[in-house]
Chains A and B, each alone.
Chain A
Amino acid sequence: MVDLDAYIAAHKFGLGARFDETINIGASPQAWLQAQLTDVSSTLEEYNLPSSQAGIELFYHYLETQRAENAADQPIAAASVNVKQQMGGFFQSYERMTAEQVLYEDLGVRGSNIANATNVYLKKSQNNISLPASNKTSQELAEDIFAMYYAEIGVRTVHAILTPASFREALVRFWSDHFSVYSQKSLQLLVTAGAMEREAIRPNVTGKFVDLLIAAETHPAMLMYLDNWISIGPNSYAGQNFGYGLNENLAREIMELHTLGVNGGYEQEDIVSFAKAITGWTIGNPNIQPEQLGNFIFEPLFHEPGSVNVMNKEYLGTGQDQGLEILADFASNAATAGFIAGKLARHFHSDNPPQSLIDRLELAFISSGGDLGVVSATLVTSPEMWDGTFAKLRNSEEFVIATLRAFGVDTLTPGQLVFVFDAVGQVPFGYHAPDGWPKEESSWASSSISSAKINYSELLASFVAGQPEPSTMATNILGSMLSASSADGISNAVNVEQGYTLMMMSPEFQRR
């Protein structure tokens, strides 16, 4: 008989038990969890997915190809050495890009077209694909863009299904959602949202919070999602010559959602000052620093000169460092520690976690100088996590991954996975707003999602062959979490498929 703690480790910390996993976790579940904080790499390098830089290069290639195909359209202006012309070219290109950019949904990835989405990309990427050949049509390049996006979802999902270190993977998802970006905002986001998780989030989930923060805020996906790449200091060279101005989006969301929290003790003036400090944080593009195409750059000609005052502290006009210093101060602010601690507790414990758990995590954050390895280890040793309550309703993606882990299903194509995630209302990188997916039970306990989950469960159950019979399966996956009434229901099922479905739909599987 495996101890309840092994099931807690697998389900409440991890992404759900794989068959026989709790036997391997055995008598020391805390050691099993702690090892995942130090010994494991989860950067997915082995899949050779394209970088965000390569994605942006592909996007511009697509754009230029599309314009070239349009015979009636203006030819692309030759590169200029004149700074003013370069800047003008940037703003014109941005305006035009926005006006021309076709909708994600109109490029054919929704509904029945999902079945046609290219699944070969995943295989190609595993064989280290090269960038698209330049003789492709814009339609072919658009397909490559979607294939990149599908590959990101396919790889992160298959990894989540197979990994023996699913606590670490749960941390990746927590932090990725904390720095949520919306892939469907534009094609640039489509080619960078998944890469951001690999490049900015994964390497930092057990490192210092400030490093994670800087990696996320300087990532091209974030800079484009919250518009900072076109935020221009009013007194900068570009501001004075081209009439573009400040965009506060990123500054506001960094303070409200990524660090201090909405009651973090700042005012609107602080947002504006911080927004000025991070002007010039942009992306190399065909007009601005083209040799850095697709990389984060600091562009001095966009940057608001001079010092700024943020939350009663003066920051000198030091260029890029000005914003970095402010970010570092946000990271070490006590409000940030409290905000992060509460969010972690609500994610891993329940919608209404014990205050003692929040306090313990907050203290760990502060005393370790924001070391997320220490904070995560504290979560592992917190008695509240082992109190035997399972109040947190799995969200739709967590539910699907838990089912695929339980049955060991790793053969779904990216297109099929997106189809399933869409059906249950949660396609990865698909939440439109920067606050990330809803966290509370009320958003996931809807009839439409409940119905989608039971339909999905029955479908999955009908295609898993050669598995142990349902009662054995339920005991193996849920162990002493399983209630007598659920065990009864499962053993009284009319057939194997119904038994599996009841296991997946049981309250003990729905919650963690």
Chain B
Amino acid sequence: MSCSYRFDPTRRGLLLGAAGGLALAGTNSRMAFSATPSEKKLVAVILHGGMDGLNVVVPTYSDDYYAARATIAIPQAGEPNGAIDLTDGFGMHPSMPGFAHFYLKGQMAIMHAASAPYDKRSHFDGQDVLENGTDQPLGENTGWLNRALGVAPALPSALGIGSTVTLVLKGQNNIATWAEPKLAEASADTVAKTLALYGSDPVLQAALQGSVDIGSIIGDLSNLGTGFEFDARAAGKIMSADGGPGACALTYGGWDTHANQGGSSGQLANNLANLDRAMVALREELGDKWNDTVVVIATEFGRTFAENGTGGTDHGVGGVSFLLGGAVKGRRFIGDWPGIAPSQLNLGRELYPANDLRAMLKGMFRDHWGISKSDLDNIVFPNSAAVPAMTNLLR
């Protein structure tokens, strides 16, 4: 026997759920999230590909910068298509008015020259270290956000966005998952009749019921926008629902701009505009809960200081990272700026990775979720006692 088979990926259905046997245990579970709701929200945004930090938070003060990036540099504030002025010598990419607004309103702190403890240039290893929370590739098979769930006193639950759970959220602790739908949604009648088959299989019952529950929280998919904004809005809706999860991880790719990266407009600018729109949307969906929210944005590495022969940039260790949200003490740069004069570059090719991301994350976890120093040093970020938590990051 054989048959014909077609796909219609344009129709949207929901892929929702609770991986890891979440809070959905029990045959009569009505709510998708029954763990203690956490009022302190945390969103981790992982940018896969290595975002070019120097064209995002632009060192407009530097002649070296303009000399090294003849075709892709972002003009100074005030010039046509110029950066949005943030503070002396630095400007935000012009495609990011939302970010600039967050910063100027005191809701964003910027860590430039940031890096996970990985100084090579492989995407695979760099992403792995960024998300596994150790100082080596494959150092753990679980992620720091998942491990943090288990040691935060409020025992928050978490939501993963994406068809497969990204490493930062993988692990023993319960998580729910949601993804932009790929297949048309099964009819409500078929779902109900399937649930009726699961009377003596509570595990399958809880899983399918969970998707129905989250589906009702999300509501009409056509109100979610498109692209990364779609993910961010969905995350905001689910997190802000009654009993919604305390944490969420989102991933967004497309930052590996080896060629034709563009300047104030072009490939990178489009991605940045999407990221900007998504974070503004997230804030909108979180509503009042924004005041108790921290968003962490990180990428596996930055890119070369100078543009290459194809109008792009290659992999380079020092990147840029952000903390934003109503709970953040913002309008400032955190960590050290190593400079970008020729002698200050790492190996003469890239921004020196002056600031260990773990220091920022540990400070955030301690003050936002009340995680103890010992748990941060040993469980969330194993063997990291030598990396002190930053202080004074939050309001």
Contacts and interface: CB of A to CB of B under 8 A. Distances in A.
A433 to B, nearest CB: 5
Contact of A419 (B2, B9, B18, B189): B9
Nearest to B3: A464
B34 to A, nearest CB: 13
Interface residues of B, number: 75
Contacts of B22: 446
B310 A485 contact: no
A493 to B, nearest CB: 7
A103 B208 contact: no
A380 interface: no
Interface string A26-51: 00000000000000000000000000
A452 B48 contact: no
Could you tell me the dominant secondary structure of chain A's interface residues? helix
B176 A447 contact: yes
A435 interface: yes
A351 to B, nearest CB: 11
Contacts of B203: 393, 441, 445
A496 B139 CA distance: 50
A447 B197 contact: no
Contacts of B208: 447, 450-451, 454
B150 interface: no
Contacts of B167: 432
Contact of A501 (B141, B194, B204): B194
B211 A451 contact: yes
Nearest to B122: A98
Interface stretch (A267-275, A290-298, A359-367, A410-418): A410-418
Given A106-B49, A449-B207, A507-B201, A70 B14 contact: no
Of A184, A425, A443, A463, chain B has the most CB atoms within 10 Å of the CB of: A425
A443 B186 CA distance: 22
Interface in A398-435: 407-412, 416, 419, 422-423, 425, 430, 432-435
B204 A72 contact: no
Contacts of B207: 445-447, 449-450
A1 interface: no
Contacts of B35: none
A485 B7 contact: no
Interface of B: 1-7, 9, 13-22, 24, 32, 48-49, 120-124, 128, 137-138, 141, 163-164, 167, 176-179, 181-187, 189-191, 193-194, 196-201, 203-204, 206-211, 214-215, 253-254, 256, 258, 308-310, 314-315
7 contacts: A102-B258, A393-B203, A423-B183, A446-B210, A447-B176, A447-B177, A455-B181
Interface of A: 19, 70-73, 95, 98-103, 105-106, 110, 112, 115, 182, 184-186, 249, 253, 393, 407-412, 416, 419, 422-423, 425, 430, 432-435, 441-443, 445-452, 454-460, 463-467, 483, 485-486, 489, 492-494, 498, 501-502, 505-507, 510
